[in-house]
Every structure is written in structure tokens, then in C-alpha cells.
Amino acid sequence: MNDDVLLSVQHLSMYFGKGPYAKKAVDDVSFDIHKGEVFGLVGESGCGKTTTGRTIIRLYNATGGNVYFKGQRIVAGDLEYRKEIKDLQEKLKGASAEEAEKYKSRIAELRTEIKKARHDQKHADKKLVTKIQMIYQDPVASLDPRMTVREIIAEGLKIQGIKDKAYIDEQVYKMLDTVGLVREHAQRYPHEFSGGQRQRIGVARSVIMNPEVIIADEPISALDVSIRAQVINLLNDLRNSMGLTILFIAHDLSVVKYFSDRIGVMYFGKMVEMASSDELFLNPLHPYTRSLLSAIPQPDPEYEKGRTRISYNPLVDHDYSTDKPSFREIKKGHFVHCNQAEFDRYLKILK
């Protein structure tokens, strides 16, 4: 990894269920997040954005791939090893004695890698993992209605073994002030607050752990439009004052453009395009990215009259019958999921 890469996601897969009926929520997704940046992850509902975030923070056990945080592996799956073992076992059936020996040696290596991956997944450094915190999408469901705001915000500190009541109170009040609430709110319950205030409580609960990475899972989607800007500006202030690195999951591309340094576009569990914010809006290459951008409304009646939605149909827009796609760098820092024919075509339309 590069020195400034804080979080590295490599070939991450998360399947629900087993065998031929497994549902591929996330399939072979890779990206790096650099220290201090905001990485936006966008796509329609059900494309795997939230599952990616939850797998990174270990709420799910990854099926395959790895996640490295500060150079240490905190998430490890064994899907790719198991697939290779299966392929080698098929090759063994008709292999010569020399080839069979080579295949068996490789299978033994892969089984060692599987043991190592399962060990790393089970024994990841918990103190390191707590440096990644999450802000959840629903500010109502993510807060326990039977706990006061003080108890909700302080819960992480107590789990870490801190028992000093005066210190906990001081930190809770400090966090309330940081997110724009007041001390008196500490004794109240979640139902006594508005949606925006509840989300601020969720932010305070995450930030009190002094994290280095925040996974913000659609933190504004359940809020009124007038409140969204306040929460985004709050996250921006925290990013600057605390040096936070943020994985910002959303489906509102206009907000993501404003807030993010780089953007990754997901479709059906795969990363289909990734580039800097300005580059993605200047050169949207993948048909799905163009479809998403065409759906953004503009505060201009004349423009809206002529705006045409671009529909995306993968069966029509792609022909992968012979030439299979892969994630390719078409321009420095700009990656697209495409085959060679599409790559050549995209090169011609780059601005």
C-alpha cells in the first residue's frame, strides 16, 4: 500500500447463503481510501453500498477478499482460495504425475492461506478496529429508545472499560457541544428529538471514540432537505477539526459531488467506475454512471424541460459473450469496469 492509504479494500466479496443459491451482495470490489479524504460510494438501493460498509467494519464476516487498515489485515475472506482449490482438484483428475505433485503442493499452500485468513478474521486487533466507526442511515432505528442520550453516547467508552463517571460525563458534554446540541439534552430520550437532532446524536456516538475513519451510511437520506446541509456541514467541520477520513455512502450524486474527493459507482454488487469527483462528472464513461447523472434534477426550468433520462440495460449496453470485462485504469486515477472493445471506445470520448 502507499504510505497515505489508510484503508485498503481488496477484492471484497460478501455473499449471503451458500452454494448455487448464494446471493452476491458484494462481488470483487476494490478501492483505497487515502488519509484525510472523503471517498463517496454511490449507486441505487440494493447495489451493495451498505453491505460494503458493514463488511469493512466487521458487522458481517467477509466471504472473500481482504481489508487492510493502517497496513494491518482486519477483514479476511477465503473465497478466492476455495475457488482455486476446487479448480485444481478438477485438474488433478487428468494430470500427469509431475503435474499432480505441483497441484497438490499448491493446494496445501492454499489451505494454509485459508487457515491464516480465518485466524486473522477471528483475531483482528479490536482496538484498531474501534478506530473505524459508523454513522447509520436511520437515526430512529439506530438509537435505543430505552437509553438516555448520555447512555447512548457513552456506551462505546464503557465497552472499552472506562469507568470514571466524571471523565465520561465530560466527554459526553464535549461531544454534544461539538455536534451542536446542549448539555441538557444528555438526560433526554431519543423520541424527544427531531430527525436531524437524532442524527447528530448518532454522529456524537461515533466521534466520542476518537476514530480515524468514519463510515457514513447514507446519513442524510432520512432527513428533510433543509436539515441535510446542516449534517453535511457538521461532517465537513469534524473532518477538518479531527482529521477524519470518511467513507460517504449515498445515492444523491449532487451531494456526493459537493462533499467527496473521489467517487466510486456501484451496480449490482460490483464497482463499475471510480474517479475523482470532478473527473467523474466531466467524463462519465460507464453507461450506468451516465444513467445516474442524467437523473440529477437541476434548479432550471428550461434545462428540466429538455432533460432526457438515459436508461441502462446491461443486457443491451454490453456484449461480454467472448471478451470478458475487468476493472481497468483508462486515465490516471480513473477506473472503469469494461472489456477491451469498450476500453478502446471510451478512450476516444475522453475529454
β-pair partners for 297: none
pLDDT tens, position by position, 219-258? 888 777 778 888 888 899 999 999 999 999 988 788 898 8
pLDDT tens, position by position, 167-225? 999 999 999 999 999 999 999 999 999 888 999 999 999 999 999 999 999 888 877 77
pLDDT tens, position by position, 107-159? 999 999 999 999 999 999 889 999 999 999 888 888 999 999 999 999 999 99
pLDDT tens, position by position, 252-284? 788 898 899 999 999 999 999 999 999 999 999
Q: Please state, in angstroms and rounded to a whole number, the distance separating the CA atoms of residues 85 and 108.
A: 9
pLDDT confidence band for 3 (50 / 70 / 90): low
124 with 74: CB under 8 angstroms?
yes
C-alpha dist (Å) from residue 6 to 22, 32, 37, 231:
31, 8, 10, 24
Helices (H), 136-181: 149-159, 165-178
